[in-house]
A = this chain, B = another copy of it.
Amino acid sequence: MLTMLKDGGVCSPKGFTACGFTAGIKASGKPDMALLKSEQAARCFAVFTTNKVKAAPVLYDKSVLEHAHFASAVIVNSGNANACTGEKGFRDSARTAELVEDQLGLAPKSVLVCSTGVIGHLMPMDKVEKAIPHLIQGLHENASEEFATAILTTDRVKKSLAIEIETAKGKVTVGGCCKGSGMIHPNMATMLAFITTDLGLPLDFFAEFRADISDSFNAITVDGDMSTNDTCILLANGVSGIKYEDLSISEKSEFRAALMTVMKELAKNIARDGEGATKFIEIRIEKAESHAESLKMARFIGTSNLAKCAMFGEDPNWGRILSSAGSSGVNMIADQTDLYFGDVQVLAGGRPLECDQKKLEAVVKQREYKVTLVLNIGEASASAYTCDLSYEYVKINAEYTT
C-alpha cells in the first residue's frame, strides 16, 4: 500500500538529515546552500546532463561515481552554476566536497556537489568555506522543506514529496525534491533532483532508475533546452534494514510505483512551474509503433512554439498539433490519426470532425488538460508534460541583462 506523506521530502526516509543556509552567493539574501546527509554510506545512482558543455560539479560528480556507486552526502548551492570556469572551477568543486568530507569525518570521494545559477563566474569559495561548518552544525531530521527551499531559484511551486510503502518486513519510504524553473540570472532552466530511500538497492537497479527517468524528468519540456548543470541523484541508504532483493514481487512493483510516482510528480511540477506558464498540458501519444517513438513525438509536440502559443491563447488548434507530430520524425500515417482535446474528439482518420464547440472551448480554458493523439499503427504509448508559451515567458527571458 502506498501512502503519500504530509510535508514529505528528502528527509522522510530513515537516516537522512539536511540543512539549508544563506551563504551570500545570491545577491537576494535568500538561502543558497544546502547539505543532504545519510547516516551511512548510501548506494548512489546519478544521471547528468548530456550537454557537451558540462559544469564543473557535473564533471566532478561523474569522476567520483565512475569507480564507486556510493555517496554519504550531497552539497548544493544556488546562485552560481560553476560552469565555464575551467580547471579552477573543477578544483573548487573538489575542494568543496573535501571540506565536507573532512569536517564530517567521511571517506574521500564520498560527497557529491551540485550547483545552479549564473554561468561563467568562479565560485565565491570564501563564502562556501564559511558556510560549510554552519551547514554541518545545522543538520537535522525535519529539514525536507529547508533543503528544498535552499536549492530553489525562481521556482514558484514547492517541489517536494514522499511516499511510504508497507512491506511484510516493515515500512520503506521514498522521498524527493527538485528545482526546475528557470533562473532569471541567467535563465538556464537547470534541473536538480534528489531522490532518497531507506531501502537497500542492488547495483543493477541503475537500469530501472534510468528507465524511470525517461518517463519522468526526461518527459517534461519547458523550452527544449538542456542546461550545463542538470543532475538527478538517487541515494538509497538501506537504513530501514530492508533490501530490495528481500521484497516479494508485488512489493517490488509497489516500490517501483512509489519511486516512479515521486519522480513523475516532481517532474510534472517542474512543467507546471515553467517560466510564465499559465497552463499545464499532458501530450499523450497512443497506438504508436514503440514507446521510444511515442515519447519522442510527445516531447516534440510539447516543444512546438506554435502549439504552445495556441495553448496560451486557449485555441484548440488541432492543425498545429498534427503538423508538429508530422515534423517529429516519428512514423505516422496522417489519414489514420485520431485527436482529442480532453475527451472531445476533433479528428477522425486525419479529418476534422464536427464537434461540440462549447465543450471543446471548456477543455482548453482549463488550467490543466490532456491532448491525445492516437496513431493507430501500433500498441505503444507515452506522455510528455509541457506548459504553454506566454508573454511572461518572453518577458522573463528577455529582461535579464548580463
> Which A residues are within 8 Å of any B CB, using their own CB?
50-54, 83-86, 118-120, 182, 186-189, 223-228, 303-306, 309-310, 312-320, 322-327, 330-335, 347, 349-352, 389-391, 393-395, 397-402
Q: Are B228 and A326 in contact (CB under 8 A)?
A: yes
CB distance from A364 to the nearest CB of B (A): 10
- CB proximity of A351 to chain B, nearest CB, Å: 6
The CA of A85 and the CA of B319, in the complex, are separated in Å by 12
Neighbouring B residues of A318 by C-beta, 8 Å: 120, 402
Given contacts A352-B120, A391-B391, contact A223 B323 (CB under 8 A): no
Asked if B326 contacts A186 (CB within 8 A), the reply is no
Other-chain contact of A53, B228, B315, B317, B334 (Cβ < 8 Å): B334
Docked pose: A85 CA to B349 CA in angstroms: 10
Q: Determine if B224 and A187 form an interchain contact, defined as CB atoms under 8 angstroms apart.
A: no
Contact of A310 among B335, B389, B397 (CB under 8 A): B397
CB distance B323 to A188 under 8 Å? Answer: yes
* Contact between chains at A188 and B319 (CB < 8 Å): yes
Minimum distance in angstroms from A310 CB to a CB of chain B? 7
Q: How near does chain B come to A63, taking the closest CB pair, in angstroms?
A: 16
Whether the Cβ atoms of A332 and B52 lie closer than 8 Å is yes
Q: Bound complex: CA of A304 vs CA of B188, how far in Å?
A: 11
Q: How far is the CB of A154 from chain B (nearest CB, A)?
A: 14
Evaluate contact between B306 and A52: CB separation under 8 angstroms: no
Which 10 A/B pairs are nearest by Cβ-Cβ distance?
A313-B398, A309-B397, A53-B326, A52-B326, A51-B326, A120-B352, A53-B334, A119-B319, A223-B305, A226-B327
Residues A84 and B319 in contact, CB atoms below 8 Å apart = yes
Given contacts A52-B331, A393-B394, 10 further A-B contacts (CB under 8 A): A53-B323, A186-B320, A223-B305, A225-B323, A228-B323, A309-B394, A315-B398, A316-B402, A317-B400, A318-B402
Q: Which residue of B lies closest to A330 (CB)?
A: B52
Contacts of A319 in B (CB 8 A): 83-84, 118-120, 186, 188
Known: A119-B319, A325-B52, A331-B52. A84 touches B400 (CB 8 A): no
CA distance A249 to B25 in the complex (A): 64
Closest B residue by C-beta to A190: B323
Residues of chain B within 8 A of A309, CB atoms compared: 187, 393-394, 397-398
Residue of B54, B334, B397 near A313 (CB, 8 A) is: B397
Chain B residues lying within 8 Å of A187, measured Cβ to Cβ, are 306, 309, 320
Using A334-B54, A352-B120, A391-B391 as known contacts, say yes or no to A224 and B188 having CB atoms under 8 A apart.
no
Residues in B neighbouring A391, C-beta threshold 8 A: 391, 394-395
